[in-house]
Amino acid sequence: MRRHTTLKIGGPADAYIEARDTNMLVAIVQWCLAEGIPMTTVGGGSNLLVRDGGIRGVVIATRALRNLERVRDNVVVVDAGVSTGKLLSSVTKWELGGLEFLGGVPGSVGGGLVMNAGTYLGEFKDVTTSVRSLRLTDGETVTRTNEECKFVYRGSALPVDEVVLSATLTLWPRPLAEIKEVVAGLRARRKEREPKGANNAGSVFKNPEGDYAGRLIESVGLKGTRVGAAECSPAHANWFVNHGDAKAADMLALVAEAKAKVLAEHGVELVLEWKCIGED
């Protein structure tokens, strides 16, 4: 699975399939249900840590679901596998605002919806009208409104036993020059803060209310700390990087150390933003 995550970490899956369209995805799920085979779904792998023991059963990837359509003036329907960068560039050409917060944010739309990805400029909950997903329990599709998704800071109520297929987004007209200026500013800000030259999976922990995870981790002296080839980045303490051959166990040891020290010194319990799957 290291081939399919931005951290470049993860043990083997029994089988890995990229569904080329929604019909194929439904067929795979229904076959697995009929055969009693466990299923795990993944998107672009940008916020994902796969444990060293890998994953039993079939891993189903949605990254090939890439339909993106402007269905009405301000309304866009986007598949789960479309990258956040592709989505932003497309709506920018259409002079539609509302997604400027995606500037520099990695990953795919499906994962972004599940975790309500965003920045200080906004998040998916601000523009999402509805989300269509597939239940892994019976192979049926379900559509939820924004309210039913119950988006919260870096999370949602989208069930773990479902896989996102697509979303309908409602945006608004905005001049091309304005969008580009805002996005360029956000990308420049992220470029200054983010580590370079090593594999990563974005922010490790959610920011606690009224504070920043990076500040707390830095304050307990963890910047630059290594476990094997896993490091708490000297550039930003809330980014853990893989210098080449780090194991999931190394990353999880750093996670545990950061949580323990911040809790001991600040009384704050850090909450993991990464999604961890697989066996030890």
Domain 68-179 has CATH 3.30.465.10: yes
Q: Which CA distances in Å does 226 have to 82, 198, 202, 223? A: 34, 13, 17, 9
pTM of structure: 0.90
d(CA 207, CA 250): 22
Which pLDDT does position 106 carry in this prediction? 84
**Any catalytic annotation for residue 156?**
no
What does the mean pLDDT of the chain come to? Answer: 95
**Catalytic residue, candidates 83, 108, 154, 162:** 154
* pLDDT per residue as tens digits for the range 44-98: 898 999 999 999 999 999 999 999 999 999 999 999 999 999 999 999 999 999 9
CATH architecture classification, 2-61: 2-Layer Sandwich (3.30)
Residue identified by tokens 């975790």 is 115
Provide the β-strand partners of residue 170: 75
**Any catalytic annotation for residue 273?**
yes
* pLDDT per residue as tens digits for the range 244-271: 999 999 999 999 999 999 999 999 999 9
Q: Average pLDDT for residues 144-162, to the nearest whole number?
A: 96
* pLDDT per residue as tens digits for the range 194-204: 787 789 998 99
Which pLDDT does position 158 carry in this prediction? 96
Counting every residue written for the chain, the total comes to 280
CB 236 within 8 Å of CB 204: no
**Catalytic residue, candidates 83, 108, 156, 203:** 203
Which pLDDT does position 196 carry in this prediction? 79
**Any catalytic annotation for residue 100?**
no
* pLDDT per residue as tens digits for the range 8-35: 999 999 999 999 999 999 999 999 999 9
Q: Are strands 275-277 and 48-50 parallel, antiparallel or unpaired?
A: parallel
CATH architecture classification, 196-277: Alpha-Beta Complex (3.90)
| Structure-block tokens of residue 147 | 């309210």
